[in-house]
Structure 1
Amino acid sequence: METLLVSLMPYIIGSAVVPLQIIICLLLLKSPKQGLFKAIAYVAGMTIARLLQGLIFGLIFSEAATSGETGNDKNLVISTLLLVLGILLLIAAYKKWHGHDDPDDPPPKWLTTLDNSTPLKAFGIGVGLPLIAPKLWVFTLSALATIAAAQLGQASSAVVFLLFILLAQSLLLLPILIRILLPQKSKSLLNGISAWLTKNNRSIVIVVSLVFGLLFLKSGISGLL
């Protein structure tokens, strides 16, 4: 179990540090009306989307893992996913470097309607973001393939995937907890973090995409060879 969690850490970190999802959460928290409830609904929506991905693709990968595939076949699936993820991340770094839009960015109207959105709309944004972001898809699919390859059984695999979701969303849950525990002091802190992330979003995406892109590309090629 511990070894599996170590293997999942690159996917967990990669999923957690996507700046846009954190910026959306902070903007929702800053909303003058029901900001806290909007942020909670947003994270709940992301959780539901990832649970649905886990339910569908977890079963597919589990069936493949128990259908007589050899270890080489399992490694081939994981290595291919790593290779695809590495390429996607490097493409994202290249596009950001040249000032192009990130394919994981949601439609602009999402960001302009955050202040006026309801908790239900925030929930919808949370559901939609993991489903339209290619990199988040591959992070989740790679994690599911790694869990399935370990063949821990359905119960243990479900627990590990729930841990993956919790840790992948830790940087969304943290500001919500800060807002709950420190309702007054948190405002200036969260405003500062939001402003910093918005200002440095491009640089963060480039660095994160480049580092993880090279890491996953190397792992994928090594696995295929």
Structure 2
Amino acid sequence: MEAVLVSLLPYIIGSAVVPLQIIVGLLLLKSPKQGLFKAIAYVAGMTITRLLQGLLFGFILSRSTTFADGSSGKNPIISTLLLVLGILLLIAAYKKWRKEEDPDDPPPKWVTTIDGLTPLKAFGIGLGLPLIAAKLWVFTLSALATIAAAQLGQPTSAIAYLLFILLAESLLLLPILMRILVPERSKSVLIQLSSWLTRNNRPITITISLVFGLLFLKSGISGLLS
């Protein structure tokens, strides 16, 4: 179990630091009307989608005969997913550097309408975001493939995936907890953090995409050649 969690760390960190999902969560949280409920609904939507992805693709991957050797490091499915993820991240870094549009980024007008969303619509955004963001898809599939390859058994595999979801959403859950525990003090902090992330979205995305892109590309190529 410990070895699997270590193997999942790159996917956990990569999923957690995607700027788009954090910015949306913070914008919802600092909404003047029902901000806390909107943020909770948003995270709940993302969680449900990831659970459904786990049920469907976890079952498929666990039944794959490719996992017969039980090796997570040299599994061709994992290596292929890492290769694809590395390429996607490097493309994203290049597009951000060239100031081109990233398909995972929402239209600017969409972001400006967040304050007017209801909790139900925020829930819908949470449901949809993991489905339309290609990088989140590959992070999740890579995590599921790693868990399936370890052949931990159904209960332990389920726990490992739930931990992946929890940690991948940690940067969404922490501001919500802050808002609940210290509501007055958190308002200014959340506004400043949201503004900083929005202002520095481009350099953050370039750095994260470049670092993880090179890491996953190297791991994918090494796995396929080994």
Q: TM-score band, normalised by the shorter chain?
A: over 0.9
Aligned to 1:220: 220
Please tell me whether the aligned partners of residues 67 and 75 of structure 2 are also in contact (alpha carbons under 8 angstroms): no
Q: Cα deviation per residue 1:3-23 (whole Å; 9 max; x = unaligned)?
A: 100000000000000111111
Please tell me whether the aligned partners of residues 106 and 129 of structure 1 are also in contact (alpha carbons under 8 angstroms): no
Q: Cα deviation per residue 1:135-175 (whole Å; 9 max; x = unaligned)?
A: 00000000000000000111110110000000000000000
- Equivalences for 1:64-75 in 2 at 5 Å? 64-65=64-65, 69-71=68-70, 75=75
Which shows bigger deviation, 36-45 or 99-108? 99-108
Aligned to 1:148: 148
Please tell me whether the aligned partners of residues 42 and 123 of structure 1 are also in contact (alpha carbons under 8 angstroms): yes
Identity %: 78
Please tell me whether the aligned partners of residues 45 and 124 of structure 1 are also in contact (alpha carbons under 8 angstroms): yes
Aligned to 1:204: 204
Please tell me whether the aligned partners of residues 86 and 216 of structure 2 are also in contact (alpha carbons under 8 angstroms): yes
Q: Cα deviation per residue 1:93-119 (whole Å; 9 max; x = unaligned)?
A: 000000011121134443122111100
Aligned to 1:133: 133
Q: How many residues align?
A: 224
Partner SS for 2:5: helix
Please tell me whether the aligned partners of residues 71 and 150 of structure 2 are also in contact (alpha carbons under 8 angstroms): no
The CA RMSD measured in Å over matched residues stands at: 1.5
Q: Which amino acid is 1:44 matched to?
A: A
Q: Distance in 2 between matches of 1:200 and 1:103?
A: 18
Q: Cα deviation per residue 1:164-217 (whole Å; 9 max; x = unaligned)?
A: 000000000000000000110101111110010001000000000000000000
Q: Which amino acid is 1:177 matched to?
A: L
Q: Cα deviation per residue 1:11-53 (whole Å; 9 max; x = unaligned)?
A: 0000000111111111111111100000000000000010011
Q: Distance in 2 between matches of 1:143 and 1:3?
A: 13
Q: TM-score, normalised by structure 1?
A: 0.96
Please tell me whether the aligned partners of residues 71 and 149 of structure 2 are also in contact (alpha carbons under 8 angstroms): no
In 2 relative to 1, CA 179–68 (structure 1 residues): closer, same or farther, beyond 3 Å? closer
Please tell me whether the aligned partners of residues 23 and 194 of structure 1 are also in contact (alpha carbons under 8 angstroms): yes
Please tell me whether the aligned partners of residues 39 and 176 of structure 1 are also in contact (alpha carbons under 8 angstroms): yes
In 2 relative to 1, CA 80–214 (structure 1 residues): closer, same or farther, beyond 3 Å? same
Q: TM-score, normalised by structure 2?
A: 0.96
Question: Is 2:17 the partner of 1:24?
Answer: no
Q: Distance in 1 between matches of 2:206 and 2:35?
A: 30
